[in-house]
Amino acid sequence: MKTPDKLGTAHLDLNGVRMTTAVSGPNSAVAAATELVFEQVGDVVSARYRGGTIVDGYLIGHLTDASLHFRYVQADRAGRLDAGVSDGMFERLADGRLRLVENFQWITRPESGTNIFEEIK
C-alpha cells in the first residue's frame, strides 16, 4: 500500500469537503459514524460535525499550508459539553482523497490523543 503524500504549499480548498473518522484514539469522542463538513474563507477553516455519540460539534481554526490549528466544542448524547484544541496535518491519499491526522488535547478533560479522518467521495 502506498504511503500518503504530505501536502506542500499548494492551496487547499476545503469548502464542502466531507470527512469521516477512519481511526479514533482511545480518549476521543468521535467514531466511524461521525461526519465532518468543512467550510473555508481564506485561511479560516470551520467544520460542523455530528454522529455517533456526538449530537453537535463545531471546530474553527487557521490553515497554514497543509497544517490546521483549531479549537473545537461539542455536545454529546450523555449531556456533556466539551472543548479542546488540536493540531492537524492534511495528506493526500493514493486515490486522491484527503486525510487529516489530528492530535488533540481536551480542555475540559485531562486526556489527549490522535484521530484520523478521511474524505468521503
Per-position pLDDT tens, the chain of length 121:
444 555 543 578 999 999 999 999 999 999 999 999 999 999 999 999 999 999 999 999 999 999 999 999 999 999 999 999 999 999 999 999 999 999 999 999 999 999 999 999 8
How are beta strands 5-6 and 81-92 bridged, if at all? antiparallel
Q: Answer whether 6's CB lies under 8 Å from 25's CB.
A: no
| Res 1: pLDDT | 42
| Res 10: pLDDT | 55
- The alpha carbon torsion through 79, 71, 99, 18 (nearest 10 deg) reads 60
Q: How far apart are CA 42 and CA 31, in angstroms?
A: 29
| Res 117: pLDDT | 98
| Res 2: pLDDT | 44
Residue environment code for 90-110, b if the CB has 16+ CB neighbours within 10 A, otherwise e: bbbeeeeebbbbbebebeeee
